[in-house]
Structure 1
Amino acid sequence: MTDSTRNLLEQHFDTAFAAPDGIARLRELILTLAMQGKLVEQDSNDPHASELLKEIEAEKQRLVKAGKIKKPKPLPPINPEEVPYELPPGWEWVRLGEVAEIVRGVTYSKSQASDVGSPGTIELLRANNINGTINFLETLYVPVELVSDYQRLQQGDILIAMSSGSPHLVGKAAPFFADRECTFGAFCGVIRASCERTFTFLHHYCQTPLYRKQTQKEGKGIGIQNLNKGALQNLYLALPPIPEQQRIVARIDQLMARCDALEKLRKQREEKRLAVHAAAIKQLLDPALRAFVPSCEPFDFLAQHFGELYTVKENVAELRKAILQLAVMGRLVPQDPNDPPASELLKEIEAEKQRLSSSSSPRRRGSSKPLPPIKPEEVPYELPQGWEWVRLGNTILNMDAGWSPKCESEPARDNEWGVLKTTAVQTLQFWPYENKALPEKLAPRPDTQVEENDILITRAGPKNRVGICCVAKPVHPKIMLSDKIIRFKIYGDLISPDYCALALNTGYGAEQIERMKSGMADSQMNISQDKVKQVIVAIPPLPEQHRIVARIDQLMALCNTLDKKIDAATDKQTEFLNAAMAQV
Structure 2
Amino acid sequence: MSAQELITKHLDLWTGAVTKRSSSGRGSNGKVELTGVEKLRELILELALRGKLTEQHAGDEPAEQLIERIATQKANTGNGKRGTPQPPKNETPIPQPFQVPSTWAWVPLRETGLTSTGKTPSTKNASFFSGDIPFIGPGQVTVRGKITKPEKSLSEEGAAHTEEALPGDILTVCIGGSIGKTAKVSERCGFNQQLNKIRPILVESDYLFFAISAKFFQKAIRENATGSATPIINRSKWESICIPLAPFAEQKRIVQKVDELMALCDRLEQQTSDQLEAHETLVDTLLGTLTQSENATELADNWTRLAAHFDTLFSTKQSIDKLKQTILQLAAMGRLVEKGSGDEPAIDLLTEIHARKTALAGEKRIKQPRALTQLDNTQHSYTAPAHWAWAYFQDIADEISTGPFGSMIHKHDYVVGGIPLINPSHMVKGHIKEDSSVSVTPTKAEELSSYQLAKGDIVMARRGEVGRCAVVTDRETGWLCGTGSFVLRFHPAINRQFILLLFSTDTVRDYLTGNSVGTTMTNLNHGILKKMPVALPSAEEQDRIVQKVDELMALCDQLKERLNQAGETRCQLAEAVVEKALT
TM-score, normalised via structure 2 length? 0.86
Deviations 1:498-519 (A, max 9, x none): 2123223324432332234334
> What's 1:176 paired with?
185
> What's 1:107 paired with?
120
Q: Which amino acid letter does the alignment assign opposite residue 176 of structure 1?
A: V
Give 1:341 shift.
2.5
- 1:129 corresponds, among 126, 136, 140, to 140
Rounded to whole Å, the distance in 2 between the matches of 1:191 and 1:372 is 75
Rounded to whole Å, the distance in 2 between the matches of 1:418 and 1:442 is 13
> What's 1:422 paired with?
424
Q: Mind listing any 5+ residue stretches in structure 2 that lack a counterpart?
A: 19-34
Q: How does 1:227-238 map to 2 (within 5 A)?
A: 227-238=233-244
- 2:199 corresponds, among 168, 183, 192, to 192
- 1:306 corresponds, among 310, 315, 321, to 310
> What's 1:46 paired with?
60
Change beyond 3 A, Cα 1:339–1:478 = closer
Whether the aligned pair in 1 keeps the contact of 2:104 and 2:247 (CA below 8 Å) is: yes
Rounded to whole Å, the distance in 2 between the matches of 1:545 and 1:503 is 11
Whether the aligned pair in 1 keeps the contact of 2:121 and 2:162 (CA below 8 Å) is: no
Q: Which amino acid letter does the alignment assign opposite residue 431 of structure 1?
A: I
Rounded to whole Å, the distance in 2 between the matches of 1:367 and 1:533 is 15
Q: Mind listing any 5+ residue stretches in structure 1 that lack a counterpart?
A: none
Change beyond 3 A, Cα 1:328–1:136 = same
Q: Partner of 2:149: helix, strand, or coil?
A: coil
Whether the aligned pair in 2 keeps the contact of 1:27 and 1:259 (CA below 8 Å) is: yes
Q: Partner of 1:160: helix, strand, or coil?
A: strand
> What's 2:530 paired with?
533
Give 1:144 shift.
0.8
Deviations 1:530-581 (A, max 9, x none): 4432222111222221121111111111121122111100111122223223
> What's 1:395 paired with?
396
Q: Partner of 2:298: helix, strand, or coil?
A: coil
> What's 2:443 paired with?
442
> What's 2:41 paired with?
27
Whether the aligned pair in 1 keeps the contact of 2:106 and 2:244 (CA below 8 Å) is: yes
> What's 2:323 paired with?
319
> What's 2:88 paired with?
74
Give 1:407 shift.
6.5
Whether the aligned pair in 2 keeps the contact of 1:390 and 1:538 (CA below 8 Å) is: yes
Rounded to whole Å, the distance in 1 between the matches of 2:80 and 2:140 is 35
Rounded to whole Å, the distance in 2 between the matches of 1:158 and 1:572 is 36
Q: How does 1:276-355 map to 2 (within 5 A)?
A: 276-286=282-292, 290=294, 294-336=298-340, 339-355=343-359
TM-score, normalised via structure 1 length? 0.86
Change beyond 3 A, Cα 1:379–1:440 = closer
Q: Which amino acid letter does the alignment assign opposite residue 266 of structure 1?
A: T
Which stretch of the first structure deviates more once superposed, 226-235 or 543-552? 226-235
Rounded to whole Å, the distance in 2 between the matches of 1:208 and 1:68 is 26
Give 1:183 shift.
2.7
Change beyond 3 A, Cα 1:64–1:435 = closer
Change beyond 3 A, Cα 1:305–1:530 = same
Query: In the alignment, does 2:380 pair up with 1:384?
Result: no
Deviating beyond 6 angstroms after TM superposition, the runs of 4 or more aligned structure 1 residues are 65-69
Q: Which amino acid letter does the alignment assign opposite residue 320 of structure 2?
A: V
Change beyond 3 A, Cα 1:65–1:401 = closer
Which stretch of the first structure deviates more once superposed, 434-443 or 263-272? 434-443
> What's 2:458 paired with?
455
Q: Which amino acid letter does the alignment assign opposite residue 542 of structure 2?
A: Q
Give 1:430 shift.
0.8
Query: In the alignment, does 2:95 pair up with 1:92?
Result: no
Q: How does 1:137-156 map to 2 (within 5 A)?
A: 137-148=149-160, 151-156=163-168
Change beyond 3 A, Cα 1:456–1:27 = same
Whether the aligned pair in 2 keeps the contact of 1:425 and 1:468 (CA below 8 Å) is: yes
Q: Partner of 1:354: helix, strand, or coil?
A: helix
Q: Which amino acid letter does the alignment assign opposite residue 54 of structure 2?
A: V
Q: Partner of 1:260: helix, strand, or coil?
A: helix
Q: Which amino acid letter does the alignment assign opposite residue 489 of structure 2?
A: K
May I ask how many residue pairs the two structures share in their alignment? 557
Rounded to whole Å, the distance in 1 between the matches of 2:540 and 2:82 is 88
Give 1:274 shift.
0.7
Rounded to whole Å, the distance in 1 between the matches of 2:75 and 2:83 is 9
> What's 1:486 paired with?
486
Rounded to whole Å, the distance in 1 between the matches of 2:166 and 2:48 is 26
Q: Which amino acid letter does the alignment assign opposite residue 183 of structure 1?
A: G
Whether the aligned pair in 2 keeps the contact of 1:420 and 1:435 (CA below 8 Å) is: no
Deviations 1:464-490 (A, max 9, x none): 2x3312323464565443344322222
Whether the aligned pair in 2 keeps the contact of 1:277 and 1:309 (CA below 8 Å) is: yes
> What's 1:250 paired with?
256
Whether the aligned pair in 2 keeps the contact of 1:458 and 1:486 (CA below 8 Å) is: yes
Change beyond 3 A, Cα 1:322–1:441 = closer
Whether the aligned pair in 2 keeps the contact of 1:126 and 1:139 (CA below 8 Å) is: no
Whether the aligned pair in 1 keeps the contact of 2:112 and 2:201 (CA below 8 Å) is: yes
Q: Partner of 1:385: helix, strand, or coil?
A: coil
Rounded to whole Å, the distance in 2 between the matches of 1:355 and 1:65 is 90
Deviations 1:356-382 (A, max 9, x none): 33225x2xx354456887465432344
Rounded to whole Å, the distance in 1 between the matches of 2:477 and 2:537 is 33
